[in-house]
Amino acid sequence: SSDLPVYTQEEVTKHRSLSDGVWVTYKGGVYDITDFVAIHPGGDKILLAAGGALEPFWALYAVHSQDHVLEILSEYKVGEL
């Protein structure tokens, strides 16, 4: 648990562009990764997950199965699903 707000999937789905903000979910957490998009080592592919879950994409790109990737993600947490 945390003191962060709880968001609905509908609210997350509204954030799928750089102008509206880019939000993603991962294991019940909500992340505003707008500022990370430009520095993502995998480039614009990250936008495929915009407004939805990271899990299906990270299952395909195993490069994300590393502690340091989760540490980066944690910096962008804004809420719970």
**77 binds ligand HEM per the rule CB under 6 A:** no
Q: At a CB cut-off of 8 Å and minimum separation 6, what does 12 contact? A: 23, 24, 25, 30, 51, 52, 81
**Residue closer to ligand HEM (CB basis): 38 or 48:** 48
From the CB of 12, what's the least distance to ligand HEM, in Å? 13
Q: How far apart are CA 78 and CA 66, in angstroms?
A: 21
| Total chain residues near ligand HEM (CB under 6 A) | 19
**Closest residue to ligand HEM, Cβ-based?**
42
